[in-house]
């Protein structure tokens, strides 16, 4: 059978400009976001305090991250992933909080499969609880995964990814502009959705596979997309059966990795409006895909989203009037795999000013504008790309450090 959205078990974390390429070289890590699913297992009983729970969030490279203190006194950091039917946790967290199996019972494993055929086995556990502020989720099925590379790349320790089904008995709000997560119990009586307006739109979603699929409109054509907070991207568009018109591109971007190897991303700016309910996104930047179309954090960060899984409705709201506009995608033509002490070049984007310079995949960068790379967080580096005309990278050549000044340009105007 053809894999539907719930069966596209592992999806790549996109490596796209202008951000440092996100784990593009880590083929084994590509199950971490979007469409990640395992054989369907219902989450455990959900207990929610009467008062809504609000937690501050951090939007890092368009990922929605939250921190929460558990009863062991430790603070844990999770990525909230509406595009995933699975919850994944580190081996350390599993050792601390998984229900113990009877002695002599072999570990349970789940074989997970990527959309393009790669397979990997992960240990399956049941967590006693996940506590997010005053919201407690008991007996949560999870898969065990080592997030060391992701943590090193983001510069933040990541303890797990919480999938969409965990929140099935709550009202879940991802407030991107306000940088907060709100978990609320369902009201005792039916509350009609907010009145449709230019600022608020409530849309029915398909939740049969455990992730939210909604219709959106591009020009005069409608199609289905996955709401994927586990992706840092914009609109990932599968153009099959559609007729997108482009104002710029599509052109070759950076590498996208999968379990079956790397391929070049095609990216461009549409010459059409995209409508999500009553919200208009004017000429958005899109990345072409051969998988299910999805909207990721670069799209979602303009909105506050509230998911009602009992009625299968999601509300998009925003404070501003008018259409959402997306800034040009700026780049130096380089994408990197980050670590604490160096950034390794993954690819040099062809047909860019950088392609003719003496830098190639595999080169190691240790400084940016004279400062060690460990000083450059995602937010700081993105701000530099938005404002700088040129950036000086310091590469290692044997035992020597060599400076290379590279222009910043609009990969997609």
Distance CA 295, CA 216 (A): 10
Q: What CA–CA distance (Å, rounded) separates 305 from 354?
A: 39
Phi-psi map region of 322: left, alpha, beta (phi>0 left; psi -120 to 50 alpha): left
What are the pLDDT tens digits along the chain (413 aa)? 222 222 233 333 323 333 333 333 232 333 333 344 444 444 445 454 445 789 999 999 899 999 999 888 899 999 999 999 989 999 999 999 999 877 777 888 888 765 445 677 899 999 998 999 888 898 899 999 998 878 877 888 999 999 999 999 899 999 999 999 999 988 766 565 566 665 899 999 999 889 999 999 999 999 999 999 998 889 999 999 999 999 998 998 876 654 344 567 899 999 999 999 999 999 999 999 988 999 999 999 999 999 999 999 999 999 888 899 999 999 999 988 888 889 999 889 999 999 999 999 999 999 999 999 999 988 899 899 999 999 999 999 888 999 999 999 999 99
Q: Where are the domains of the chain?
A: 29-184, 200-325, 330-412
285-288 sheet: strands from edge to edge: 246-258, 261-270, 285-288, 235-237, 294-295, 221-227, 213-218, 273-276, 279-282, 324-325
d(CA 55, CA 49): 14
How far apart CA 138 and CA 140 sit, in angstroms, is 6
Task: Could you please state the CATH topology (level 3) that the domain comprising 330-412 is classified under.
Answer: Pdz3 Domain (2.30.42)
| Per-residue tokens: 8 | 């596209």
CATH superfamily of 200-325: Acid Proteases (2.40.70.10)
**Matching CATH topology for 29-184 and 330-412?**
no
CATH classification code of 29-184: 2.40.70.10
């Amino acid at each position: 059978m053809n894999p539907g959205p719930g069966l596209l078990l592992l999806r790549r974390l996109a490596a796209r400009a202008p951000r440092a390429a996100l784990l593009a070289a880590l083929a084994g890590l590509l199950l971490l976001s979007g469409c990640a699913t395992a054989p369907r297992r219902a989450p455990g009983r959900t207990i929610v305090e009467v008062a809504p729970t609000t937690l501050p969030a951090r939007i890092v490279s368009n990922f929605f991250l939250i921190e929460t203190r558990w009863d062991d006194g430790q603070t844990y950091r999770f990525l909230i992933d509406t595009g995933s039917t699975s919850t994944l946790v580190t081996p350390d967290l599993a050792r601390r909080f998984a229900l113990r199996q009877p002695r002599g019972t072999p570990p349970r494993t789940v074989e997970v499969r990527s959309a393009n055929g790669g397979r990997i086995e992960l240990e399956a556990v049941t967590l006693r609880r996940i506590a997010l502020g005053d919201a407690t989720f008991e007996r949560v099925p999870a898969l065990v995964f080592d997030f060391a590379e992701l943590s090193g790349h983001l510069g933040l320790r990541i303890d797990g990814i919480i999938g969409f089904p965990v929140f099935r008995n709550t009202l879940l709000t991802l407030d991107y502009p306000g940088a907060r997560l709100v978990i609320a119990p369902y009201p005792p009586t039916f509350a009609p959705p907010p009145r449709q307006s230019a600022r608020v739109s409530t849309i029915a979603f398909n939740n049969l596979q455990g992730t939210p699929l909604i219709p959106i409109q591009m020009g005069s054509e409608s199609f289905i997309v996955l709401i994927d907070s586990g992706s840092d991207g914009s609109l990932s568009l599968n153009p099959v059966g559609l007729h997108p018109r482009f104002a710029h591109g599509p052109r070759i971007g950076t590498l996208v990795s999968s379990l079956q190897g790397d391929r070049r991303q095609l990216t461009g700016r549409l010459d059409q409006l995209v409508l999500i309910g009553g919200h208009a996104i004017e000429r958005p930047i899109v990345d072409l895909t051969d998988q299910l179309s999805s909207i990721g954090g670069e799209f979602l960060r303009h909105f506050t989203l509230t998911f009602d899984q009992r009625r299968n409705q999601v509300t998009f709201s925003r404070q501003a009037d008018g259409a959402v506009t997306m800034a040009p995608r700026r780049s130096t033509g380089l994408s990197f795999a980050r670590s604490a002490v160096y950034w390794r070049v993954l690819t040099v984007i062809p047909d860019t000013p950088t392609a003719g310079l003496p830098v190639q995949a595999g080169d190691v960068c240790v400084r940016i504008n004279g400062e060690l790379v460990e000083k450059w967080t995602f937010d700081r580096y993105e701000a530099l790309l938005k404002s700088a005309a040129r950036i000086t990278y310091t590469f290692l050549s044997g035992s020597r450090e060599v400076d290379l000044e590279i222009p910043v340009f609009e990969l997609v105007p």
